[in-house]
C-alpha cells in the first residue's frame, strides 16, 4: 500500500480567516438580496377611456365614503381611468401650453403629486406621459394608513411642497374627482388625513415634500 509521505497540510490560519469572512459576507449579501422586494418597472398606462361611466348627477347621487375593500387589483385600464379622472391632462399643450388638468389648482401650479400605492410598490403618476414612475418596490399598503387601506387596490397619497399655501384646497378638488369616479364605477373610496412620522417615513419623501392626505380606492368586500 502506498502511504503518502505527508498528508496535505491545512491552510494556514492567516489564509483561512479571510476565506471564512468572505463566505460569511457572501451569505449575508444573499440573505439581504432575498429579503429585498423585486425591483419594479415603469408602467405605461393605457389611454384613458373618457366616454365611460355614470352621468354626473347619478355619480353625485352615489358618492360616499366607504372604509372597507376587497384585496383585488384594479385592471390597468380602470387604474388609468381613475388617475386621469383624478388629475389627468384634459387639455394638452396644443390647447393650453402649460397643460390643463381635470382638477383646478391655484395659479395653475399643478402642485399636487399623486403617489400611487399598489400591492407591488409605490409610483408617481406622470400625467402628461400617462405613466407610473416607480419610486419604491414592495407592498407598503399596511404601513401608510389604516387597516382597511391594507387591502385597497390603490391608495393615492397626495404630496405637496411644504411651503405650498394652496395645497389643501388643490388636494380637495382631486379628492372629489376620485370620489365621483369611484361612485361611477361602483368602487369604494375613502379620503383620510395622512399623519404620523412613521407613515411619512415609509414613502421616503424628500425633506421639502410632505404627504397631506391619502385616498384608498378598491372593490367593495364580498
Ligand X SMILES: Cc1cc2nc3c(=O)[nH]c(=O)nc-3n(C[C@H](O)[C@H](O)[C@H](O)COP(=O)(O)O)c2cc1C
Q: Among 123, 125, 142, which Cα is nearest to 177's?
A: 125
Question: Which residue spans within the chain are E strands per DSSP?
Answer: 43-44, 89-91, 100-101, 113-118, 121-126, 131-137, 154-161, 188-193, 209-218
Residue 94 vs 147, nearer CB to ligand X? 147
Nearer residue to ligand X within complex by CB, 48 or 145: 145
Instruction: Check binding of 181 to ligand X (CB under 6 A).
Output: no
Which residue's CB is nearer to ligand X, number 5 or number 198?
A: 198
Among 75-83, 117-125, 152-160, 186-194, the segment contacting ligand X (CB under 6 A): 186-194
Q: Least Å distance between CB 64 and ligand X?
A: 4
**Residue 80: CB atoms within 10 Å:** 23
Least spacing, CB of residue 68 vs ligand X, in Å: 11
Which 3 state secondary structure label does DSSP give 154?
strand
The residue (of 41 and 65) whose beta carbon lies closer to ligand X is 65
Binder of ligand X out of 19, 58, 65, 108 (CB under 6 A): 65
Residue 195, sorted as left (phi over 0), alpha (psi -120 to 50) or beta, turns out to be beta
Using CB under 6 A as the binding rule, whether residue 41 contacts ligand X is answered as: no
Q: Report the candidate in 141, 125, 127, 145 with the shortest Cα–Cα distance to residue 73.
A: 141
Our finding on whether 192 is near ligand X (CB under 6 A) is yes
- Residue 156 burial by CB count (10 A; 0-12/13-18/19+): exposed, middle or buried? buried
196 contacts ligand X (rule: CB under 6 A): no
Report in angstroms how near the CB of residue 160 gets to ligand X at its nearest.
14
Q: Which member of 191, 202, 203, 215 binds ligand X (CB under 6 A)?
A: 191
Work out whether 64 is an interface residue with ligand X (CB under 6 A).
yes
Exposure of 150 by Cβ count < 10 A (0-12 exposed, 13-18 middle, 19+ buried)?
Answer: middle
Residues lying near ligand X in the complex (CB under 6 A) are found at 64-65, 191-193
Amino acid at each position: 500500500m502506498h502511504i503518502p509521505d505527508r498528508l496535505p497540510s491545512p491552510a494556514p490560519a492567516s489564509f483561512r480567516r479571510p476565506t471564512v469572512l468572505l463566505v460569511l459576507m457572501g451569505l449575508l449579501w444573499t440573505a439581504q438580496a432575498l429579503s429585498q422586494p423585486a425591483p419594479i418597472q415603469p408602467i405605461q398606462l393605457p389611454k384613458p377611456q373618457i366616454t365611460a361611466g355614470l352621468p354626473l348627477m347619478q355619480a353625485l347621487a352615489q358618492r360616499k365614503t366607504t372604509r372597507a375593500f376587497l384585496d383585488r387589483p384594479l385592471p390597468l385600464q380602470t387604474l388609468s381611468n381613475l388617475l386621469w379622472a383624478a388629475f389627468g391632462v384634459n387639455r394638452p399643450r396644443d390647447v393650453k401650453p402649460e397643460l390643463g388638468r381635470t382638477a383646478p389648482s391655484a395659479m395653475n401650479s399643478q402642485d399636487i403629486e399623486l403617489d400611487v400605492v399598489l400591492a407591488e410598490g409605490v409610483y408617481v403618476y406622470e400625467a402628461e406621459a400617462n405613466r407610473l414612475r416607480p419610486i419604491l418596490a414592495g407592498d407598503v399598503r399596511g404601513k401608510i394608513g389604516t387597516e382597511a387601506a391594507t387591502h385597497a387596490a390603490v391608495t393615492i397619497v397626495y404630496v405637496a411642497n411644504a411651503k405650498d399655501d394652496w395645497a389643501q384646497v388643490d388636494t380637495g378638488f382631486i379628492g372629489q374627482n376620485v370620489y365621483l369616479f369611484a361612485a361611477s364605477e361602483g368602487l369604494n373610496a375613502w379620503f383620510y388625513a395622512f399623519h404620523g412620522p412613521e407613515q411619512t417615513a415609509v414613502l421616503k419623501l424628500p425633506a421639502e415634500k410632505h404627504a397631506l392626505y391619502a385616498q384608498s380606492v378598491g372593490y367593495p368586500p364580498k
